[in-house]
């Protein structure tokens, strides 16, 4: 492929690279550098620590659970917002962004008050929701919900109704149309919403600390453990944990990206 230089290339690329470097690459490089200079054996110690392992696995598991929950719930919200005109739709649409606007600590506090054993909703549920793993997933779902809705909405709006009408005229039931015609076209957007949701949930800290109870081996998440390590002046341990979480998250995002490519391009026979 030949490379032709388009007008404005140098300037725009320069600004982009500078911004990316200062805001993303530099902090990541510092993390890597710090990890290289960490005491020998830190990684080994951190990796075999059962508390760390439990926290990492729980963080990933809870983030995946929250992202999966949002996949279904968020898709449904997007569908309703796009397809059904109802009074108050614009308000409902604006409310979707609320989890982004709310300080996450407030979200955590509110959720634990609402879903606590004496809370408005909590006292209706026969099993405890707060201060256990369900609470963590609940908080993570709340803070990452907008991603699925917002990635799906524009695609849904652009989806021509005629394509579904064509399927109906060809004898396809509503379910068959949804499964064979609508969903495949939404798949790329759903997956990217899922990936964003997951990424947001893995890094979430503020809301979780208020709803989880922070019990080691039970509801402790990896970001919290990093803070704990920092408070104990175990900087090397914190860095090691950060690098491990970062690598796992990158791995998960990369596999979602692969799925995206698999579904993203229209399939061929």
Partner 1 sequence: MSIEIRNLTKRLGGKTILDRVNLDIPEGSLMALLGPSGSGKTTLLRIIAGLEHPDEGEVLVRGEASTAQRPQDRHVGFVFQHYALFPHMSVRQNVAFGLEVKPRASRPSREVIRARVDELLALIQMDSYGGRLPSELSGGQRQRVALARALAVEPRVLLLDEPFGALDAQVRAELRQWLRRLHDVSKVTTVLVTHDQEEAMEVADTVAVMNRARVEQVGHPRDIYDHPASAFVAQFVGQMNRLHQVEEGTAFARPHEMELSLDASEGEAAQVVKVVSVGPLACLRLRLSSGLELDAHLSRERLALLEIKEGDHLFVRPSRVQVFADDYSI
Options 113, 114, 172, 246; binder of partner 1; rule CB under 8 A: 172
Shortest Cβ distance from residue 149 to partner 1 (Å)? 22
Residue 200: both structure tokens together: 């947001």
User: Nearest to residue 137, comparing CAs of 72, 69, 183?
Assistant: 69
* Footprint (CB under 8 A) of partner 1, residues 141-160: 160
DSSP label at residue 119: S
Q: Shortest approach of partner 1 to residue 155 CB, angstroms? A: 12
Number of alpha carbons in the 13 Å side-chain half-sphere of residue 187: 19
- 266 sits near partner 1 (criterion: CB under 8 A): yes
When asked if residue 180 is in the footprint of partner 1 (CB under 8 A), the reply is yes
Decide: is 184 part of the binding site for partner 1 (CB under 8 A): yes
Q: Which stretch binds partner 1 (CB under 8 A): 21-29, 33-41, 61-69, 178-186?
A: 178-186
H helices of the chain, in order, are 9-20, 26-36, 42-48, 50-83, 89-95, 98-101, 104-115, 133-158, 161-169, 174-177, 183-203, 206-211, 222-231, 235-264
Angle of CA points 239, 240, 242, to nearest 5°: 60
176 scored as a contact of partner 1 (CB under 8 A): yes
Closest to 196 measured CA to CA, from 66, 31, 19: 66
Q: How far is the CB of 72 from partner 1 (least distance, A)?
A: 21
Element (H, E) at 220: none
- Alpha carbons within 13 A on the beta-carbon side of 100: 11
Q: Judged by CB under 8 A, does residue 28 bind partner 1?
A: no
Regarding 87 and contact with partner 1 (CB under 8 A), the answer is no
Q: How far is CA 180 from its chain centroid?
A: 27
Is residue 85 at the binding interface for partner 1, with CB under 8 A as the rule?
no
Identify the helix (H) or strand (E) that includes residue 172: none
Instruction: Enter the tokens of residue 89.
Output: 């739709």
Selected from 78, 81, 167, 209, the binder of partner 1 by CB under 8 A is 167
Q: Give the range of 14-22, 112-120, 137-145, 168-176 binding partner 1 by CB under 8 A.
A: 168-176
Among 91, 169, 231, 233, the residue binding partner 1 under the rule CB under 8 A is 169
Site string for partner 1, 216-235 (x = CB under 8 A): --------------------
**Count of residues that bind partner 1 according to CB under 8 A:** 21
Task: Enumerate binding residues for partner 1 (CB under 8 A).
Answer: 160, 162-163, 165-173, 176, 180-181, 184-185, 266-269
């Amino acid at each position: 492929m030949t490379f032709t230089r388009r007008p404005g290339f140098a300037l725009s690329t320069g600004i982009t690279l500078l911004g990316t470097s200062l805001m993303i690459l530099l902090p990541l490089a510092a993390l890597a550098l710090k990890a290289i200079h960490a005491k020998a054996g830190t990684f080994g110690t951190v990796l075999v620590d059962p508390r760390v392992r439990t926290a990492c696995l729980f963080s990933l598991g809870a983030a995946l659970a929250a992202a999966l929950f949002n996949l279904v719930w968020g898709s449904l919200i997007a569908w309703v917002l796009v397809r059904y005109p109802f009074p108050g739709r614009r308000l409902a649409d604006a409310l979707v962004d609320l989890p982004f606007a709310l300080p996450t600590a407030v979200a955590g506090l509110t959720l634990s008050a609402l879903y606590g054993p004496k809370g408005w909703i909590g006292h209706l549920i026969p099993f405890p929701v707060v201060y256990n793993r369900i609470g963590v997933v609940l908080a993570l779902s709340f803070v990452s919900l907008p991603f699925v809705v917002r990635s799906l909405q524009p695609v849904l709006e652009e989806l021509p109704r005629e394509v579904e009408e064509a399927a109906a005229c060809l004898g396809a039931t509503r379910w068959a149309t949804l499964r064979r015609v609508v969903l495949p076209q939404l798949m790329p957007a759903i997956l990217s919403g899922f990936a964003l949701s997951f990424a947001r949930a893995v890094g979430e800290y503020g809301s979780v600390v208020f709803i989880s109870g922070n019990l080691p081996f039970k509801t402790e998440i990896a970001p919290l453990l990093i803070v704990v390590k920092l408070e104990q002046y175990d900087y090397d341990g914190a860095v090691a944990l950060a690098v491990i979480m970062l690598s796992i998250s990158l791995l998960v995002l990369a596999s979602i990206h692969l799925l995206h490519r698999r579904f993203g391009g229209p399939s061929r026979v």
